[in-house]
Structure 1
């Protein structure tokens, strides 16, 4: 199958700490379609390299992640609803990760009062102070795309073309990768995709954010991951 050669990968400092990166690739529709089919065939098997993490055998099978838990909006209510509704399962952790990505990576960025309304619930007790300080992070890096989207243009990450991969799981911890598509000025980009990896912990009866991890390369995640059943 012929495909346009992807642009060189760009590692960009994300808004929280250097370990959370978005890599934009110019991926043709044919490449994306083939990648998603491959992910559906074998959704939780990492590439055959010794350094790649593999999901725990204890991962629970339940309702497949929709990528839209909490509703269509990208606000504090959506995020907190997703946290409250997500079950204590691996797929529940995936849903919360998708909700965090949808809420966090957008422009205009969340207002200070909205950030304040979620900080107490969003973060795990294990998260360090720098990682928790979203207001300062947005002030330092007001464009969460790291330059992928031009300054002054509205954008958000959609899970409609998105995928997920469970990197690791125990009863109380999960590391999840989520891939999404950039929606710029209301239009879904046919080329720009993102890759984000978060570690979560089950605390106080909900999945909460511990830290960001170095994400998989975007093209690798889209070839490996499982498509969301809905997306928004």
Structure 2
């Protein structure tokens, strides 16, 4: 069985990372969470004061991109790779609603996208990789063997995200999460550089009414059909 490249794109909170991790474990593939990379840059920008609720110093962030090193280290107890920023594990810090509220704005910056796309393409050079994000099938791996586009209603995605955040102990409201989902959808699909669009050869999967197991089985069938 050949090692293929799998690109998973789609809207926020559609379970891209969840199914990508499942597939990576099952197939023995490398999983790269491109969204975590953008969250890592966002977290750096927040820590350095480049982005707040009131301003975004894009030039300051761009000038300091050279000081950002992002890496992934596999955590055997968790069963997936955690993201590190300049050698520090920030897996939990980047999953907050606060980071979510800024990440689409940071991801709009062309210089940020260029830096991360170059690194992502290195990760996938030899196949046997699953990567999820917003522009994987259109920009990062336009020749991927399998392209998926995940979607679900905004309300369904907000409910999922709200549950995740509550389980982590965050104090959030469903309305705030829904607003964040809708705002990210707008920014992701309307940005000038690499907007979120379905690749012409991508297979769309609406998982609004699918269980995780049903989704995994459906996508695994698609993978096996290629091999």
TM-score range, shorter chain: under 0.3
Give the TM-score normalised by the residue count of structure 1: 0.24
Structure (1/2) with the larger helix percentage: 2
Structure (1/2) with the larger strand percentage: 1
Give the TM-score normalised by the residue count of structure 2: 0.24
